[in-house]
Structure 1
């Protein structure tokens, strides 16, 4: 019996492998940057035209060699802009980059698909998590409590660093630090830099809190019993997310 590679479990590609693939295929349209110098130059072009961070050729080279596996958010944002992919793709949130455009459909300037948030946005989103993700029987967690939770999971963030993120004094955490925060609060890391993900997660957290305040078990059982099959199917992913968020709130 024959089998295809699609039937086999796949290992999630590393940042080095994803970057190498983008450069080898000259993403996004077959004429994208193919070496470290071209990537750095393209990032400077985009920054000059639209603002935003840049990346050096040495950093690109080190990422490809896996000498740098935990770059800052600014570096990831610059790479995302150069290749018209999302930061989430570079971090492994999704395995599929946007499809390359044909030469006929190619834009005159590469679009920045998903860039790092400003300090204000990052701070606002983190503060939102502090405000809503905590047990109903107590108030928000402190910076020190979240720092301990990050450390317990093998991360490296001090209470002072978290405070700096929350007040906008620091806006370039590493990908590992951002992922650690996301894990502690039970949200996808894309929450911090993707508007659509942030909106969806915020809606789910609001629903979760409403359930807790109203008496979740009573409301859920009565409501679910009245739903048809199509509505129940649509509710499954929401319930799965709420379950993860609820576990984080019992941290």
Structure 2
């Protein structure tokens, strides 16, 4: 499975401690805890030991960000993203803002946006990401005044997986931890939303549903019709689909 090729949180953390950026000596658990706490975090050397050994493997978002700051790396490195830390690494967009954007941008063309219940059911059914409740997803989407969302790593991975943020190695949860990557993904999503608003996504979905039953001649006819419409800008064309006529109007 592709998922098995992604390195574990424990392996990544242990390597970062053994070969830290910007210093010749490895970090001991005690030293790393001291740096995290000096930067305003809250962690014990015992918990770091459990994380490095894989005895605990589901830290919170805040813990991931605190460890990354202490180690001088991007928090995205813990989920397979970039290692280099930017000068202004702290996310400018909150986890909640990114998650709300995914709810708005990504859903099947034949239905409206997902509800928190839909997403919770899908994440829970997968079995790899633990369980998450719809109410918790609502809290992540709209945290109370003065509070920050602090999801656990497996939930972050599950949400990324549900919304199709993936690469060859599994869920691309770095979207939530890397503003540079998020900006790239959001630009692609903006194009997708524009196509959906123009009816293109629904049209392509309908074509894909019928295409397997088409004859070679009808396939060629469809390609010509679509190509001519795209080149001319004329949206009044039609072509037959199983005896029907499908129009872009």
TM-score with structure 2 length normalisation? 0.68
Q: Secondary structure at the match of 1:79?
A: helix
Equivalent residues in 2 for 1:95-114, closer than 5 Å: 97-98=83-84, 114=89
RMSD: 2.8
Matches of 1:208 and 1:144 in 2, distance apart? 24
CA shift, 1:31, in A, is 4.1
CA separation of 1:83/1:222 partners in 2, compared to 1, >3 Å: closer, same or farther? farther
Alignment match, 1:157: 132
Q: Is the contact made by 2:143 and 2:149 (CA closer than 8 Å) also made in structure 1?
A: yes
CA shift, 1:92, in A, is 2.3
CA separation of 1:24/1:135 partners in 2, compared to 1, >3 Å: closer, same or farther? closer
CA shift, 1:222, in A, is 4.5
Name stretches of at least 5 consecutive residues in structure 2 with no aligned partner: 166-171, 205-222, 232-249
Q: Is the contact made by 1:13 and 1:92 (CA closer than 8 Å) also made in structure 2?
A: yes
Equivalent residues in 2 for 1:177-216, closer than 5 Å: 177-187=155-165, 188-214=172-198, 215=200
CA separation of 1:11/1:182 partners in 2, compared to 1, >3 Å: closer, same or farther? closer
User: Between Structure 1 and Structure 2, how many residues are aligned?
Assistant: 193
Q: Is the contact made by 2:104 and 2:113 (CA closer than 8 Å) also made in structure 1?
A: yes
Matches of 1:81 and 1:199 in 2, distance apart? 21
CA separation of 1:222/1:121 partners in 2, compared to 1, >3 Å: closer, same or farther? farther
Equivalent residues in 2 for 1:218-237, closer than 5 Å: 222=227
| Structure in which a larger fraction of residues adopt strand | 2
Q: Is the contact made by 2:80 and 2:174 (CA closer than 8 Å) also made in structure 1?
A: no
Q: Is the contact made by 1:77 and 1:114 (CA closer than 8 Å) also made in structure 2?
A: no
CA shift, 1:19, in A, is 1.6
Matches of 2:45 and 2:88 in 1, distance apart? 21
Match of 1:127 among 100, 107, 111: 100
Equivalent residues in 2 for 1:28-67, closer than 5 Å: 28-31=21-24, 34-47=27-40, 53-67=41-55
Q: Is the contact made by 1:15 and 1:69 (CA closer than 8 Å) also made in structure 2?
A: yes
Q: Is the contact made by 1:23 and 1:32 (CA closer than 8 Å) also made in structure 2?
A: no
Alignment match, 1:19: 13
TM-score with structure 1 length normalisation? 0.68
Q: Secondary structure at the match of 2:39?
A: helix
CA shift, 1:213, in A, is 3.1
Q: Secondary structure at the match of 1:171?
A: coil
CA shift, 1:33, in A, is 5.6
1:43-78 Cα offsets, whole Å, 9 max, x none, are 12222xxxxx33321111111121111111111111
Q: Is the contact made by 1:85 and 1:98 (CA closer than 8 Å) also made in structure 2?
A: yes
CA separation of 1:113/1:54 partners in 2, compared to 1, >3 Å: closer, same or farther? farther
Alignment match, 1:241: none
